[in-house]
Structure 1
Amino acid sequence: MDGEARFRIVAGVDGSAPSRLALEWAVTEARLRHGEVRAVTAWEFPPVTVGMEGLIHDPDVFPQTARRLQNEALKRVDSEGVPVIGDVVQGNAAAMLLGAAEDADLVVVGSRGLGGFAGLLLGSVSSQVLHHSPCPVLVVRTRSRTGDE
């Protein structure tokens, strides 16, 4: 990184609690490093088999929902003084984050997203990014909730 380039952080945002924490962490780190954050929210059409075509009445709902989730996450984080670029893209979340990581100094993701396997400590997207990123990766976990916290 030369003297004029900003430290670039990519943050994966899907609306989950871990992704909100990842975004907060990314913005805080960017503030400390006088850097910038690219918040990436990926969406895909759900798989459809023969006979299910009619279940999707409005294909625009997917990108609109992704944009709404990202906007809500961006509103919740104090990004004053930090350039934050929102990027909503169509494609596999891991692939889109890995593509964004090509020009990044750091990728920050939540340990788990909105996937269906709640018992896993590390979700499939964060695992893929962790194992294949061209730059360092930070995986943010939520604190477990117990009665004595």
Structure 2
Amino acid sequence: MRVQDDERPVVVGFDGSPESRRALRWGADEARLRFLPLVVCHAWQWPYHLVSITPGAPEIMERVGRHVLDTGLAMAQDFASRSPVRGRLVEGSAAGALVGASGSAEMVVIGPRGAGGFQELRIGATTAQLVAHAHCPVAVVREPVHPRADRVTIGVDGGNLDPADLGLAFEEARLRRAALLVICLCPEGTEDTRRAAVRFHTNLGVWEEKYPQVNVETVVETRPHPEVLRHAADRSDLLIVPNRERDDPAALPIGPVCQALLREAPCTLVVTPSHVPPMAGR
């Protein structure tokens, strides 16, 4: 299958840090598996908007940014030899550039923190802002802690299964030839889960028929959701969670479950926004 340049791309935020290099490799693999273009995005910003102490300083900063982007593009060409690769150099904040790019992207890929972040910092400000405001799924790529498990996991609200989330999970499992664990998250402390379980398995059956090649495991859980998903991440290569709290205008930009997993998940985490466009069929 040929890759079309006008398709929604996989966008990777790159700043030259080890975390962004790891994200670039992961994003290149995602683009290759999906037959999608790959866009390497770098943002540069002169820190003082009102005055330039040194004449020509902003131009120097832009040239430095171009050098960082060119480095990322060279790496991307090696990682994604079969995908069209484009660069995007943006003046402004990295978070703003990536949120803007997410409106026309299939997925945005980023490391948990960028250049300048200290080792103990689990999630950087750019990553947090992107997850909070992106219009498409965001993959936060971590260095694997455990051996490869050949498993994709998704946690879903037992009373509100989003077809886009399930479609993303099944497609990721199919592309990776991995098993899929679907966790039905009931309200904590629920004593009778039978009704939720019936609705859950009925909705899931549609996707199992569509993806017969995917080996599906299911579990219904009433324990605290961060605990359940954190434990599942120990046995997964990819964990998919929705940032559903964004449906409530009064809620924080990132819900508590998502916040906990951004800090603690030992594998790559894909966060889906409240309303995700259907994944491109492959």
User: TM class by shorter-chain length?
Assistant: 0.7 to 0.9
Other-structure match for 1:27: 28
Partner AA of 2:21 in structure 1:
R
Other-structure match for 1:45: 46
Shift of 1:48: 6.8
Supply the distance in 2 between the matched residues of 1:61 and 1:116 (Cα, whole angstroms).
23
Other-structure match for 1:60: 59
Q: Secondary structure at the match of 2:32?
A: helix
Shift of 1:117: 4.2
Supply the distance in 2 between the matched residues of 1:91 and 1:81 (Cα, whole angstroms).
31
**8 Å CA contact retained: 2:11, 2:107:** yes
Partner AA of 2:142 in structure 1:
R
Report matched runs for 1:94-105 at 5 Å: 94-105=95-106
Partner AA of 2:71 in structure 1:
E
Other-structure match for 1:110: 111
Other-structure match for 1:136: 137
User: Structure 1 residues 47, 8: closer, same or farther in 2, change over 3 A?
Assistant: same
Instruction: Give a deviation string over 1:13-47, Cα, whole Å, max 9, x none.
Output: 11111111111111111111100111110010013
Q: Which has the larger radius of gyration?
A: 2
Which deviates more, 135-144 or 67-76? 135-144
Q: Secondary structure at the match of 2:43?
A: strand
Report matched runs for 1:71-86 at 5 Å: 71-77=70-76, 78=78, 79-86=80-87
Output the TM-score relative to the length of structure 1. 0.83
* Identity value in percent: 37
Output the TM-score relative to the length of structure 2. 0.45
Establish whether residue 69 from structure 1 lines up as the match of residue 83 from structure 2.
no
**8 Å CA contact retained: 2:8, 2:104:** no
Q: Tell me how many residue pairs correspond in the alignment.
A: 139
Supply the distance in 1 between the matched residues of 2:92 and 2:57 (Cα, whole angstroms).
18
**8 Å CA contact retained: 1:7, 1:33:** no
Question: Gapped runs of 5+ residues in structure 1?
Answer: 145-149
Supply the distance in 1 between the matched residues of 2:99 and 2:19 (Cα, whole angstroms).
18
Question: Gapped runs of 5+ residues in structure 2?
Answer: 146-282
Which structure has more RCO (C-alpha within 8 Å, separation ≥ 6)?
1
**8 Å CA contact retained: 1:11, 1:109:** yes
Partner AA of 1:33 in structure 2:
R
**8 Å CA contact retained: 1:7, 1:34:** no
Runs of 4 or more, structure 1, over 4 Å off, are: none
Other-structure match for 1:8: 9
Shift of 1:71: 1.0
Shift of 1:73: 2.0
Partner AA of 2:141 in structure 1:
V
